[in-house]
Amino acid sequence: MQFICIFRVYDLLRFQKFTIGYAWCAGESLKSTNLFCPKTTHFWNLFCSLEYGCSDDKNVTIFENLKRLSPLHNVKFPSDPKVHEYPAMLLLTGDHDDRVVPSHSYKLVSELQHTIGRNDNQVMNYRILFENRFL
C-alpha cells in the first residue's frame, strides 16, 4: 500500500499559528485578526462550526478531538514491529502555498523518522517532495 498526500494539514493543534490558518478558527481567536468584523461574526461562527475547531479556544473537548484526529500526533511505534509497518508515503508541499505551510509536511516526516525510523522491519519509506512554486 502507498499513499500520496498533497498539500495537507497534519498538525491540527497548531494550524492556526501559520499563515491563513487563523481564518479557520471562530470566536475569540479570530478577533485579533483583520478578518474579524462584528457584522460577520455569525457568518464566521457558522462557517467554522463546519470545521474541526481550534485548540486556542480553551475547550478541552475540542482539544482532545483535534489531538485524536491530528496525523502528526498519532504517529506511534507499531505494537508488533515484526508484523506491522507504516505504508510508503510521499508528501507533496510547496513554498508558495499560503494556505498550508510546508512545515506541516516537514513535521510529519520528521515525526515518522523519529518514531518508526528505529524499526528495522520498516522497509517502506516515506519521502517529501518540495515544489519551488505552488501550482
The 10s digit of each residue's pLDDT in 28-58 is 444 444 444 444 444 444 444 446 678 888 8
User: Percent helix, strand, coil in the chain (nearest 5)?
Assistant: 40, 15, 45
The 10s digit of each residue's pLDDT in 62-87 is 889 889 989 999 998 888 877 778 88
Q: Which three cell numbers stand for residue 122?
A: 520498516
Question: Is the separation of the CB atoms in 32 and 118 below 8 Å?
Answer: no
pLDDT of residue 111: 92
Is residue 116 pLDDT above 80, yes or no?
yes
pLDDT of residue 107: 92
Residues contacting residue 66 through CB under 8 Å, at least 6 positions apart: 12, 13, 52, 53, 55
Q: Provide the domain limits for residue 117.
A: 2-131
Domain count, the chain: 1
- Mean pLDDT for 101-126 is 86
Which CATH number is 66's domain given?
3.40.50.1820
The 10s digit of each residue's pLDDT in 7-21 is 888 898 888 888 877
Residue with cell 481564518: 23
